[in-house]
Structure 1
Amino acid sequence: MSEKIKQRLLLKEHYVSTQQIRMIQLRVNRSIRPKSSALMVTSIDEYTDKPLVSAKLAISMAQEGKRVLLVDADFSTPTLHEWFQKNNETGWSDAVLKRRGVQNKIKETLFPNLYLLTTGPANRFSQEMWVPEKIGGVIEECKKEFDLILFISPTFHSSVNAQLLVEYCEGVVLVARANKSKKEELLTTVEAIERSGGKMLGTILQTG
């Protein structure tokens, strides 16, 4: 395994503690009953590191033996392909636009049971792809192959796409940052997620 990947995803205990990840993991296992489920990791502002949180949570769930698909749906700052050292020639955007063939766009990672679906090139992003029927179809296709689908989404308040995606997820994890994220924004974001039908599974607070 690449030492760079190991350091970035596993060894930043001071930044996103393993204890917080395990608490969310426990809530996921208690709250999500269907055989296959979709979760979303989002944030209240731009000060958070959602890729780190999403990757650590996905790794933890995969270590339980679940088949986990980590999906980068944040077209504003696509980063997971760089973290896992994969190309981003095709991905989520292609799967949604074509509504078929998602399996050949999924990439294996160095972590057992953990797979990755990158955004695909940003220039293919368009509002045309954010159609409920298209999104729902791809998610259902993925659920046939994976126990858990974990989406990293844009900041919730600033993105209609995140507010649409939450409708297809059985739970939401919110990321905030100590001394940066405001309490009022945290509360209003939680309320907005719940109004959209999302089920809050908890908040992860970054300290770094």
Structure 2
Amino acid sequence: MSQEKRANKKNRRKMGRKLVTVGNRNSFVSEQFRTIRTNITFAMPDQEIKSILVTSATPGEGKSTNVANLGVVFAQEGKKVCIVDADLRKPTMHYTFRLQNIRGLSNLLTTQYDLSEVLNSTDISNLFVVTSGPIPPNPAELLSSKAMDSVIRQLINDFDMIIFDAPPLLSVTDAQILSNKCDGTLLIVNSGAVENASVLKAKMSLEASKANILGVVLNNYKIPLGEYYDQYYHQ
């Protein structure tokens, strides 16, 4: 096996381990994803939330890991869920779920395939994935197209919950475009790794696109052990 193939195989194993909601359903982290699921469900009591965009201010904040685990916990609840890798620049969802990425969203938006031809089942019951497909030269234009609107309508008809993984807000305009098309947006913030100014700028860009910001997920926050037990026993 070549060095490149070994590196790709190692990377896929590493990404696969990030599905804590599958590997350790009773862990504290898995419980936090279920809490996020509950908060999303009750975020808008007068309107059903069926499409969610997940993004971050900067790269490396854990948005894709959050997307994957949120998709799992919604599926574990019994909902029919579709995760869409809308990061048409640096996609990773196919690694997480160990899928081929020969065709996906980019093919769907250029009408090369139908949804049924790019939809992937996973090892998790009720959970499906549309990978990014080949990286196109014009991601923003594809995401802002009428074809994207049509894809979202079809997904809403076929699934109970659709979760889009989008690029970071401060890198490209893609997430702003998609946030306006979804019922709600989650902003992932990596604790201690991103500047406050960047988070505020990301929030302002979502507000400028009239996104419905459901909330912020603070990622990688380390709770002191004593504080965790105190919160658990004295709620």
Q: What TM-score results when the alignment is normalised by the length of structure 2?
A: 0.78
Shift of 1:82: 1.2
Name 1:74's counterpart in structure 2. Answer: 87
Are 1:9 and 2:19 matched, yes or no?
Answer: yes
Question: Does residue 28 in structure 1 map to residue 40 in structure 2?
Answer: yes
Higher mean C-alpha deviation, range 95-104 or range 173-182: 95-104
Equivalent position of 1:158 in the other structure: 171
Mean Cα displacement is larger for which, 106-115 or 181-190?
181-190
CA gap 1:187/1:23 in 2 versus in 1, 3 angstroms: farther
Q: Which residue of 2 is the match for residue 62 of structure 1?
A: 75
Counterpart of 2:53 in structure 1: which amino acid?
M
Q: Which moved more, 1:175-184 or 1:34-43?
A: 34-43
Give me the identity figure in percent. 27
- Paired residue for 1:142? 155
Among 22, 39, 44, which residue is 2:52 paired with? Answer: 39
Change in Cα spacing, 1:162 to 1:37, as seen in structure 2 (3 Å) is same
- Report the 3-state secondary structure (helix = DSSP H, G, I; strand = E; otherwise coil) of the residue aligned with 2:91: coil
Aligned to 2:226: none
Aligned equivalent of 2:191: 178
Classify the secondary structure of the residue corresponding to 1:98: coil
Which has the larger displacement, 179-188 or 38-47?
179-188
Q: Which of 181-190 and 163-172 deviates more? A: 181-190
Q: Work out the CA distance in 1 between the residues paired with 2:74 and 2:122.
A: 14
Deviation for aligned residue 1:111:
0.4
Larger Rg: 2
Residue 128 of structure 1 and its aligned partner are, at CA, apart by 4.3
C-alpha distance after superposition, 1:36-79 (max 9, x if no partner): 62100000111312221110111011111111000001122111
CA contact (8 A) 1:93 1:124 kept: no
Q: What is the DSSP-based 3-state SS (H/G/I as helix, E as strand, rest coil) of the residue aligned with 2:87?
A: coil
Aligned residues: 205
2:205 is aligned to: 192
Contact 2:50 2:183 in 1 (8 A): yes
Q: Which has the higher contact order (CA 8 A, sep 6+)?
A: 1
Structure 2 gaps of 5+ residues are 1-12, 222-235
Q: CA deviation at 1:104?
A: 1.7
Q: Work out the CA distance in 2 between the residues paired with 1:166 and 1:204.
A: 16
Q: Distance in 1 between matches of 2:32 and 2:49?
A: 23
TM-score when scaled to structure 1? Answer: 0.87
Q: CA deviation at 1:6?
A: 6.3
SS at match of 1:95: helix
| Residue type of the alignment partner of 1:207 | N
Where does 1:81-120 land on structure 2 (aligned, <5 Å)?
A: 81-98=94-111, 101-120=114-133
Distance 1:17 1:191, change over 3 A: farther
**Superposed CA offset, 1:160-206 (max 9, x none):** 22111111111111111111111122122122212211111222222
| Residues 118-127 or 155-164, more deviating | 118-127
Please tell me the root mean square deviation across aligned C-alpha atoms, in Å.
2.6
**Quick one: structure 1 residues 115 and 86, their matched pair in 2 at CA, closer, same or farther if it must change by over 3 Å?**
same
